[in-house]
Amino acid sequence: MYQVRRHKSWAILLLLALPGATRPAPPHYPAAPRPPRPATSLIVLLTVDQLRPDYFERYGTQFTGGFRRLLSQGLLFQHGEQDHAITETAPGHSTLLSGREPASTGIVSNVRGVLDPTLPLLDGSLPGASPWRFQGTTLYDWMVARDSGTRALSVSRKDRGAILPIGRARGEVYWYHGAGFTTSRYYTDTLPVWVRDFNARREPERLAGAVWSLRLPPASYAEPDSMPLENGGRDFVFPHQLPSNPDSAAAALINFPWMDSLTLGLALEGVRALRLGTRASPDLLTISLSTTDAVGHAFGPDSRELHDHLLWLDLWLGQFLDSLTALVPRDRILLVLTADHGVQSFPEARRGRDGDRGGWSGRVRMGELVRRAGAALTKRYRTDFSLDFDTGLLSADTLALHARGIRIDSLAQALAMAAGRQPGVLQVFTPLTLTRASSADREARLWRHLIPRGYGWLFCASLRPGSVWSEGGLSAQHGSTAPEDVRVPILFWGGGLKPARVTRSVRTVDIAPTLARLLGIRPTEALNGAPLAEVVSRDSH
């Protein structure tokens, strides 16, 4: 039986490779000219799925690896935000290197993200995935426009985490599926040798039976280890063990810390194989680490499991940076660390802290309201108008509604009034009322930044503090406009930047224009974000 503190997967081993006055003026000796700063040859976007910035304050004194290095040496914006509603993985990732809000990228939710039944995975699995919904360009497109030899590699456990940072480009894009990394036929018809060799090591199966134990002594954790709310009431006490069956272990790996180590290992293998960062002009590497999201959903942001996973990730990030800087000199690397969204605590636990709410759990469900409305419309008009509620947004085939003479504003208003009566709902907008809402209305702003022009919808809703969208189950949730869901860290490291802490609010859409300014390239379309002065000014280097 493997202990996580003792087990060294191949990914871990890989990480180790690696003037004039009356008196005569004193003699003046001019200082030696400062050598020019080396040009950046590798841009790295490191996204930790569901990473909240307050975790750095909670656990910072226990970080000794990658997080410690980035926080002590980087320029950190402590109040970063995903400035849009539906704070999920797909919309969040679509903002990072596009410099544009989801209303411009066209990625409004996970469901309306990258799934594509026309382009299966390489093993024929459906649904496949592609950036077919993504609109516009990204930093990678701007880099290629200046230098057609620019190379990119994007890896993640999730398809959307790998695909969306580089948009519609057909680069080297891989994600985890089954027991290894793959891609879809949008990108290629066969995996390159280096990815096949990586998968052939069968590390997920070799981890069968491995035990996730605490990295530090139990007294180092303030969180209780016996919370039945966690993990659906099953296996909520340390240690946690992967199934002993190799196939089952490979499938379950996405919920265990080793998944992030494996993803970092693939990224390093790709840097070596593709020789990223070895040219005079910069290349691009994007890595999205997803285990924080899996652990956060199952156990919550206040759990011992989430705390411990971040300690393991800190260790592996340190080893990753050691290996990466052995391949590409540190002074030629510019790395950005951020997140696609945050997460909220279990509303059941929060209710206990915040006082009695009359028995209401804090989970808001709209499924029944939408099902009844859809059934009534279908019965009357003998047509399915595709009513679909997802994380606060009720989408519909508004063209079909209009074609049958249905007054869409009246229908939307009636449904919005019914939704507004649900416990936990703070604010509801229809297309008409969202247009008329004040520019100072925070909720209206976040929804405007999400919904593309011409998108078919009937209402959108925001929640009161402490409530979450949920159609069942006891998992911790994100996706709302709550500060816990919107706030993310944004940190720049390398590139000659001086360490600093910045307290003003900035947005993830500012990352791409900042990188473009540093690289001296011009975006090929209008952006919602702007270069961050603290990063691009001469004084910051």
In which domain, by residue range, is 385 found? 363-469
Q: Is the pLDDT of residue 412 over 90?
A: yes
Q: Look at 170 and 473; give whichever has higher pLDDT.
A: 170
Residue type, 444: A
Residue 473's pLDDT is 81
Q: Look at 354 and 442; give whichever has higher pLDDT.
A: 442
Q: How far is CA 239 from CA 301, 305, 509, in A?
A: 18, 10, 39
Residue 14's pLDDT is 39
Mark whether 384 and 248 lie in a shared domain: no
Residue of 106, 50, 55 whose CA lies nearest to 479: 50
Q: How far is CA 511 from CA 165, 277, 498, in A?
A: 12, 20, 17
Residue 143's pLDDT is 98
Instruction: Output phi, psi for 501, to 5 deg.
Output: -125, 130
* DSSP helix/strand/coil, 181: strand
Last residue of a domain, one of 445, 469, 493: 469
CA distance 152 to 161: 14
Mark whether 324 and 389 lie in a shared domain: no
Residue 361's pLDDT is 57
Q: Is the pLDDT of residue 276 over 50?
A: yes
Mean pLDDT, residues 354-376: 78
Q: What is the percentage of the chain residues whose pLDDT exceeds 90?
A: 88
Residue 38's pLDDT is 61
Q: Has residue 93 been placed in a domain? A: yes
Q: Has residue 507 been placed in a domain? A: yes
Mean pLDDT, residues 298-318: 98
Last residue of a domain, one of 469, 502, 521: 469
Residue 18's pLDDT is 34
Residue type, 102: P
Q: In what order do the strands lie in the sheet with 152-156?
A: 180-182, 172-177, 152-156, 283-289, 42-48, 333-338, 487-494, 75-81, 500-507
Mean pLDDT, residues 239-247: 98
Mark whether 454 and 494 lie in a shared domain: no
Measured from the Cβ of residue 277, the count of other Cβ atoms closer than 10 Å reads 22
CA distance 59 to 312: 12
Residue 37's pLDDT is 54
CA distance 346 to 115: 29
Is cis: bond before 127, omega within 30 of 0? yes
Residue 356's pLDDT is 42
- CA dihedral sign, ordered 242, 302, 65, 333: positive
Q: Has residue 313 been placed in a domain? A: yes
CA distance 167 to 180: 23
User: Which residues are CB-neighbours of 101 under 8 A, at least 6 positions away?
Assistant: 83, 84, 95, 449, 450, 509, 528
What is the CATH number for 453? 3.30.1360.150
Q: Is the pLDDT of residue 113 over 60?
A: yes
Q: Has residue 121 been placed in a domain? A: yes
Mark whether 299 and 424 lie in a shared domain: no
Mean pLDDT, residues 211-236: 95
- CA dihedral sign, ordered 142, 143, 147, 152: negative
Give per-residue pLDDT as tens, 508-534: 999 999 999 999 999 999 999 999 999
Measured from the Cβ of residue 417, the count of other Cβ atoms closer than 10 Å reads 12
Mean pLDDT, residues 194-218: 98
SS (H, E, C) 355-406: CCCCCCCCEECCHHHHHHHHHHHHHHHCCCCCCEEECCEEECCHHHHHHCCC
Mean pLDDT, residues 197-223: 98
Mark whether 332 and 403 lie in a shared domain: no
Residue of 338, 326, 337, 333 whose CA lies nearest to 282: 333
Residue 331's pLDDT is 94
Give per-residue pLDDT as tens, 416-472: 999 999 999 999 999 999 999 999 999 999 999 999 999 999 999 999 999 999 987
Least confident range of 21-25, 122-126, 329-333, 378-382: 21-25
Mark whether 267 and 381 lie in a shared domain: no
Q: Is the pLDDT of residue 157 over 70?
A: yes
Residue 15's pLDDT is 40
Mark whether 76 and 156 lie in a shared domain: yes
Residue 5's pLDDT is 43
What is the CATH number for 71? 3.40.720.10
Give per-residue pLDDT as tens, 325-334: 999 999 999 9
Mark whether 443 and 532 lie in a shared domain: no
Domain count, the chain: 2
Mean pLDDT, residues 114-143: 97
| Inter-axis angle of helices 193-200 and 258-274, nearest 10 | 150
Residue 288's pLDDT is 98
Last residue of a domain, one of 417, 443, 469: 469
Residue 474's pLDDT is 87
Residue type, 306: L
Q: What is the percentage of the chain residues whose pLDDT exceeds 70?
A: 91
Residue with tokens 């050691």: 322
Q: Has residue 162 been placed in a domain? A: yes
The token pair that represents 419 in the structure block: 């939704």
Record the pTM. 0.92
Pairing outcome for strands 42-48 and 333-338: parallel
Mark whether 383 and 330 lie in a shared domain: no
Q: Is the pLDDT of residue 17 over 90?
A: no
Q: Has residue 1 been placed in a domain? A: no
Mark whether 342 and 375 lie in a shared domain: no
Residue 146's pLDDT is 96
Residue 292's pLDDT is 98
Residue 249's pLDDT is 98
Q: How far is CA 142 from CA 202, 214, 494, in A?
A: 37, 44, 21
CA distance 298 to 393: 24
Q: Has residue 4 been placed in a domain? A: no
Q: What is the mean pLDDT of the chain?
A: 92
DSSP code at position 116: E
Q: Has residue 492 been placed in a domain? A: yes
SS (H, E, C) 310-367: HHHHHHHHHHHHHHHHHHCCHHHEEEEEECCCCCCCCHHHHHHHHCCCCCCCCEECCH
Mark whether 173 and 85 lie in a shared domain: yes
Mean pLDDT, residues 35-64: 91
Mark whether 142 and 256 lie in a shared domain: yes
User: Which residues are CB-neighbours of 186 under 8 A, at least 6 positions away?
Assistant: 116, 119, 128, 129, 130, 131, 132, 170
Instruction: With cut-offs at 50, 70 and 90, classify the pLDDT of residue 11.
Output: very low
